[in-house]
Chains A and B, each alone.
Chain A
Amino acid sequence: GAVVSQHPSWVICKSGTSVKIECRSLDFQATTMFWYRQFPKQSLMLMATSNEGSKATYEQGVEKDKFLINHASLTLSTLTVTSAHPEDSSFYICSARDDPTSGRRYEQYFGPGTRLTVT
């Protein structure tokens, strides 16, 4: 299957700092990328959907000024957690959906996740 990478895989930062997480589709072009957050013992919750070259669409309750998403190319999306606080500690997972012209029918591939701990 297609490969999606995330970097870093884990990060510890101090409260008040910003953290950038990268999501890359390695062998396909991703028109759409998704960012999820998963707290312990809970399911994945969609934070936002980003389409290449346009502004991200945020889910209700997700602060767009706190979670900055940039999808500048068909293979890279970034999530920046600004002014991180301990309650932002979570497992952040990106997912990329391939271009519909690829022949595959809107398959969605997940990155390995980034574990963020804010102290």
Chain B
Amino acid sequence: RKEVEQDPGPFNVPEGATVAFNCTYSNSASQSFFWYRQDCRKEPKLLMSVYSSGNEDGRFTAQLNRASQYISLLIRDSKLSDSATYLCVVRGAGNMLTFGGGTRLMVKP
């Protein structure tokens, strides 16, 4: 079983749609959680951290369920520019980051 698992997609959605991505992690001792965005042939960039209480940044909402070891990202009012691969990232022992396989999102006009 992979340490961090994501549905690879692709998720094809029209502009303005709401889309949700899920992620599960296997190590219950994981300490911090993040969503990164990676555009084609570019490095990953931090989108947002994920807190236990849930957090929102504009159109993006992240949720964490430690009991279920489950993380989610919700994107509202999708824009064409949201098309990218979204990486679920978990920080564990030794402050090491472990990346999920990524979920590809394609927003169509």
Contacts and interface: CB of A to CB of B under 8 A. Distances in A.
A110 B45 contact: yes
A115 B44 contact: no
A80 interface: no
Interface string A104-119: 0010101111010000
Given A46-B96, A97-B95, A113 B101 contact: no
B41 interface: yes
Interface string B74-109: 000000000000010000000111111110000000
Contacts of B95: 97, 106
A112 B101 contact: no
B1 interface: no
Contacts, number: 33
Contacts of B101: 42-43
Contacts of A46: 96-98
B43 interface: yes
Interface string A21-63: 0000000000000100000001111100100000000000000
Size bracket of the A interface: 10 to 19
A44 B41 contact: no
A93 B96 contact: no
A60 B95 CA distance: 18
Given A43-B87, A43-B99, A43-B100, A111 B43 contact: yes
A115 B43 CA distance: 11
A3 B100 CA distance: 24
B97 A112 contact: no
A111 B45 CA distance: 10
A12 to B, nearest CB: 15
13 contacts: A43-B87, A43-B99, A43-B101, A45-B99, A46-B97, A46-B98, A49-B96, A93-B44, A95-B97, A108-B97, A112-B42, A113-B41, A113-B42
Interface of B: 41-46, 87, 95-102
